[in-house]
């Protein structure tokens, strides 16, 4: 470095996934030179994964969208004209205004991707616009079933206590691989650190993950049958009187009903369904009950079937029975450091809320959800059929729907039917190529944002700060406010920093002060339920093993088993032609869902999509390690490269999801070649409360394929 160069260091939070690792960004003469972990951050304590340093390549990537564009040819033709932001706002205001005038605001749908800086602002903008129809791919399929179940069962979302002086004695990892995935601020480094201590691990997963290799007990469950295993563990803990009798007596509601309810769900019953030996289920239940403190690390795999709510309910009852709630090293409740976010829910009249697509049937999703949303299949059906009323426009922020929603062919047909499609993103994706208007989004290093982690527990507030400007890129929240002003909505027009400052009043800092400090932390306190006999924030004041909230909504108050709608047991006729069980959705450390495949630093070590097969299955179909393989369901057919492993059942196939090929020529960029969502289904039956559709445990067949050209 020359003597004339000036280096500064800025605190921020990496958002290459929806975790929140504190980082130090080194700048030299206005250029980002280095990104390292912030050792002061109470979340990641200086550790970062490979995605954070790759942010520099993302910011400077030559393929970034840098200015607004409007379609110049047919949809999907790849023909675009550059326009100004003023013209883009004029187009949006004119098209949306005309639709509102003719059809009502409910005919506009707002979509987003998984949680980032703008995730709360998307439903806020929908409310400001006057439409009840906002959605995102994971709302009924990822995290929010767990959030809702936790609110109904405990009154709050419990998190794993990795932050105090007491380590968990046992970690029950269920449908999650935290060694490579750090979602929602519960970061991957914590579980890895515990493997080097005396903590015991129980892993429930169809695949032998990194943590399954370290675990005392690995329950290799048939995809989609997690609810059966959880019910059998409840049966064993209650039947063998392994529960914490004092805690259950004083702090839970409905134990007697749960006890009678789970009596038929023996480990032998679960073995016949789940393929997990009964003795292993018993051993796991006994180890978890005997360990204290213990925690549950649960992930979105349990939310990829149409029994997501009851599966999460069954798992949530396990630590409730063993009394490992709200104690050091256990499942604890966050400190909720920030003030409430102004979603503008009151902006919508009750008759407008009642028009939210799917809310009549899926009352938890569309009415009492922590953030009520529309039902995705209903939104797409309204695009295609106009029933119960038409969706005329779809505005998408930070999402590649052809890769991220189930049944990509159906998604394409739905998008083709909307009159106006606008997409805001970092890159020109195959989905953006179908749009009428494309807007350039700012990356996390190009914007100001306030967030708090872990999500819905909020022990630590973090500031991201704008350090560079790329082209004419803007952050989504700014676009929402500017468009609200252009349309004279009267709502959602505030400067975003004023919203940040209002939420930070409880912290005693302004947003500018937080950017200087990087974060604010409020330590977790324990045994909150004992303080002044506060209990739990539920109707009964106790942990509800029998859910009064679900009962009021008309759903089962006790956890139940439901066989996946497409499986060897429920569809034996289909299984004759599609004999293997398909699972998908496992995180890849290098990427985040469908993102980052443009980045050389991340792509070079994971260049191609992989399908995992057992060696004996591969022999049966004349497939060798490294061969290309056709994977086919009743909905579609894709090709991925074989990875042979004995860490998967002979009857199960695992495909990677999120794949497209940004390096390919043409607007489609290989979206129809290896995309797992060509195989998945968004049709009924759905979870009765949440509307979840089946993403895993589907039936498939495989064969050897030629290499792609």
Residue 565: predicted pLDDT: 97
Residues 390/382, Cβ–Cβ less than 8 Å: yes
Of the listed ranges 227-241, 484-498, 519-533, 616-630, the one predicted with least confidence: 519-533
Residue 572: predicted pLDDT: 98
Residue 2: predicted pLDDT: 53
Residues 309/145, Cβ–Cβ less than 8 Å: yes
Q: What would the pLDDT profile of 417-463 be if each residue is shown by its tens digit?
A: 999 999 999 999 999 999 999 999 999 999 999 999 999 999 999 99
Q: How far apart are CA 150 and CA 156, in angstroms?
A: 6
Residue 407: predicted pLDDT: 97
Which of the pair, 191 or 365, is modelled with greater confidence? 365
Q: What would the pLDDT profile of 170-201 be if each residue is shown by its tens digit?
A: 999 999 998 888 877 777 888 888 999 999 99
Q: How far apart are CA 262 and CA 100, in angstroms?
A: 51
Mean predicted confidence (pLDDT) in 667-671 = 97
3-state secondary structure of 655: strand
Sign of the CA dihedral 395, 397, 402, 406? negative
Q: What class has domain 69-142+350-442+474-493? A: alpha beta
3-state secondary structure of 40: coil
Mean predicted confidence (pLDDT) in 634-640 = 98
What CATH architecture applies to the domain 572-705?
Beta Barrel (2.40)
CA atoms within 13 A on the CB side of 648: 24
Residue 18: predicted pLDDT: 86
What CATH architecture applies to the domain 7-59?
2-Layer Sandwich (3.30)
CA atoms within 13 A on the CB side of 271: 9
Identify the burial level of 481 via C-beta atoms within 10 angstroms of its C-beta, where 0-12 means exposed, 13-18 middle and 19 or more buried: buried
Could you state, in order of their start, the residue ranges of all structural domains in the chain? 7-59, 69-142+350-442+474-493, 157-333, 572-705
Tell me the sheet residues that pair with 648: 207
Compute the 3-state secondary structure of the chain and give helix, strand, coil in percent, each to the nearest 5. Answer: 35, 20, 50
pLDDT above 80: residue 670: yes
pLDDT above 60: residue 507: yes
Residue 3: predicted pLDDT: 56
Q: What would the pLDDT profile of 252-261 be if each residue is shown by its tens digit?
A: 999 999 999 9
Percent of residues, the chain, with pLDDT higher than 90:
93
Angle between helix 476-486 and 496-503 (nearest 10): 120
pLDDT above 70: residue 4: no
Angle between helix 267-274 and 226-239 (nearest 10): 170
Residues 205/221, Cβ–Cβ less than 8 Å: yes
pLDDT above 60: residue 538: yes
What are the C-alpha distances in Å from 635 to residues 631, 680, 704?
11, 7, 19
Residues 376/135, Cβ–Cβ less than 8 Å: yes
Mean per-residue pLDDT over the chain, rounded: 96
Mean predicted confidence (pLDDT) in 201-230 = 97
3-state secondary structure of 414: helix
Residue 437: predicted pLDDT: 98
Q: What would the pLDDT profile of 66-104 be if each residue is shown by its tens digit?
A: 999 999 999 999 999 999 999 999 999 999 999 999 999
Q: How far apart are CA 9 and CA 518, in angstroms?
A: 11
Torsional class of 326: left (φ above 0), alpha (ψ -120 to 50), beta (otherwise): left
Q: Can you tell me which residue has the tokens 């999801």?
A: 657
Is-above-0.85 flag for pTM? yes
What are the C-alpha distances in Å from 220 to residues 44, 175, 564?
30, 11, 17
pLDDT above 80: residue 533: no
DSSP class of 335: -
Q: Can you tell me which residue has the tokens 């759903």?
A: 555
7-59 against 572-705: fold identical: no
Backbone phi, then psi, for 540, in 5-degree steps?
A: -85, -15
Q: How far apart are CA 219 and CA 45, in angstroms?
A: 32
Q: What class has domain 157-333? A: alpha beta
Q: What would the pLDDT profile of 99-145 be if each residue is shown by its tens digit?
A: 999 999 999 999 999 778 999 999 999 999 999 999 999 889 999 99
Q: What are the tokens at 357?
A: 């697509």
């Amino acid at each position: 470095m020359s003597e004339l160069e000036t280096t500064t260091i800025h605190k921020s939070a990496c958002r290459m996934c929806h975790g929140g690792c504190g980082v130090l960004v080194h700048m030299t003469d206005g250029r980002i030179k280095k990104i390292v972990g912030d050792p002061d951050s109470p979340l990641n304590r200086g550790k970062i994964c490979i995605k954070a340093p790759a942010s520099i390549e993302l910011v400077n990537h030559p393929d970034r969208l840098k200015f607004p564009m409007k379609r110049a040819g047919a949809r999907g033709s790849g023909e675009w004209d550059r326009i100004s932001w003023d013209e883009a706002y004029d187009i949006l205001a004119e098209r949306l205004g005309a639709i509102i005038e003719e059809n009502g605001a409910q005919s506009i749908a707002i979509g987003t991707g998984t949680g980032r800086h703008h995730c709360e602002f998307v439903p806020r903008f929908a409310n400001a616009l006057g439409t009840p129809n906002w959605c995102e791919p994971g709302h009924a399929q990822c995290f929010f079933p767990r959030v809702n179940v936790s609110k109904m069962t405990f009154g709050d979302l419990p998190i794993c206590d990795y932050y105090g002086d007491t380590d968990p004695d046992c970690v029950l990892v269920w449908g999650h691989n935290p060694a490579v995935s750090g979602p929602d601020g519960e970061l991957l480094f914590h579980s890895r650190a515990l493997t080097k201590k005396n903590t015991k691990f129980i892993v429930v997963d169809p695949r032998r993950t990194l943590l399954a290799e370290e675990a005392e007990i690995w329950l290799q469950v048939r995809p989609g049958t997690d609810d059966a295993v959880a019910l059998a563990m409840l049966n064993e803990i209650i039947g063998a009187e392994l529960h914490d009798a004092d805690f259950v007596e004083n702090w839970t509601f409905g134990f007697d009903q749960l006890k009678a309810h789970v009596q038929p769900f023996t480990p032998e019953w679960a073995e016949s369904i789940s393929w997990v030996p009964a003795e292993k289920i018993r051993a796991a239940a006994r180890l978890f009950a005997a360990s204290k403190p213990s925690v549950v690390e649960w992930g979105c795999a349990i939310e990829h079937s149409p029994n997501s709510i009851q599966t999460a309910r069954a798992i949530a009852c396990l630590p409730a029975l063993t009394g490992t709630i709200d104690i050091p090293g256990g499942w604890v409740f966050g400190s909720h450091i920030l003030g409430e976010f102004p979603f503008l829910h009151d902006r919508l009249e009750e008759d407008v809320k009642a028009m939210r697509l799917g809310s009549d049937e899926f009352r938890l999703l569309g009415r009492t959800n922590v953030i009520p949303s529309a039902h995705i299949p209903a939104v797409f059906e309204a695009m295609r059929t106009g029933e119960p009323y038409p969706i005329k426009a779809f505005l998408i922020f930070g999402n590649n729907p052809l890769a991220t929603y189930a049944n990509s062919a159906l998604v394409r047909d739905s998008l083709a039917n909307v009159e106006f499609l606008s997409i805001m993103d970092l890159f020109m994706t195959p989905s953006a190529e179908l749009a009428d208007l494309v807007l350039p989004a700012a990356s996390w290093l190009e914007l100001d944002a306030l967030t708090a982690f872990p999500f819905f527990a909020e022990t630590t507030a973090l500031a991201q700060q704008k350090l560079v400007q790329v082209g004419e890129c803007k952050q989504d929240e700014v676009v929402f406010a500017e468009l609200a002003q252009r349309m004279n909505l009267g709502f959602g027009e505030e400067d975003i920093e004023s919203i940040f400052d209002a939420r930070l009043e409880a912290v005693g800092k302004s947003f500018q002060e937080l950017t200087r400090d990087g974060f604010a932390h409020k330590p977790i306190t324990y045994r909150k339920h004992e303080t002044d006999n506060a209990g739990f924030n539920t109707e009964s004041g106790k942990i509800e093993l029998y859910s009064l909230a679900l009962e009021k909504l008309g759903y089962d108050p006790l956890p139940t088993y439901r066989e996946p709608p497409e499986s060897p047991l429920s569809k034996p006729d289909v299984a004759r032609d599609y004999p293997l069980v398909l699972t998908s959705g496992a995180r890849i450390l290098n990427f985040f869902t469908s993102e980052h495949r443009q980045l050389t630093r991340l792509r070079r070590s994971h260049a191609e999509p992989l399908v995992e097969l057992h060696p004996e299955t591969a022999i049966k179909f004349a497939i060798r390690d490294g061969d290309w393989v056709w994977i086919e369901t009743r909905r579609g057919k894709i090709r991925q490269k074989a990875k042979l492993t004995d860490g998967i059942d002979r009857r199960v196939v695992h495909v990677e999801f999120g794949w497209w090929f940004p390096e390919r020529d043409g607007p489609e960029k290989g979206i129809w070649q290896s995309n797992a969502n060509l195989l998945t289904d968004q049709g009924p039956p759905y979870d009765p409360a949440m509307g979840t559709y089946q993403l895993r445990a589907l039936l498939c067949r495989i064969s050897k394929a030629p290499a792609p050209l």
